[in-house]
Amino acid sequence: MKEKIILIGGGGHCRSCIDVLEREGRFTIAGIVDVPEKKEHNTLGYPVIGTDADFAKLIKIPPNVLIALGQIKSPLRRMELYDDLIQMGAHFPDRT
């Protein structure tokens, strides 16, 4: 049985990450975390299952996460997300 993973960010870079994850076949994508305005949407058929406010609850379902934020001017938001998610017990899978 494949491990589940949640993608953080639902834009263009997320689509690229989905493509890689589907081709690799190692994980089942459990859903996407995005901004509140997109909560009822989906990306390439995968549902937006929550927002940043839902992290603590969502990462317990599958603890595996991938930050899929793309075009931002600074890496600071990704770095903050990483630190916050690690503190909540999220797991960033290694490439094997």
Structure-token pair, residue 63? 């603890």
What is the structure's pLDDT at 29? Answer: 96
Q: Tell me the longest C-alpha to C-alpha distance in the chain.
A: 38
pLDDT in tens, 39-63: 778 899 999 999 989 988 888 887 8
What is the structure's pLDDT at 96? Answer: 61
**Is the C-alpha dihedral spanning 7, 58, 79, 11 positive or negative?**
positive
> Domain locations in the chain?
3-87
Q: Which residues of the chain have pLDDT under 50?
A: none
CATH class, range 3-87 = alpha beta
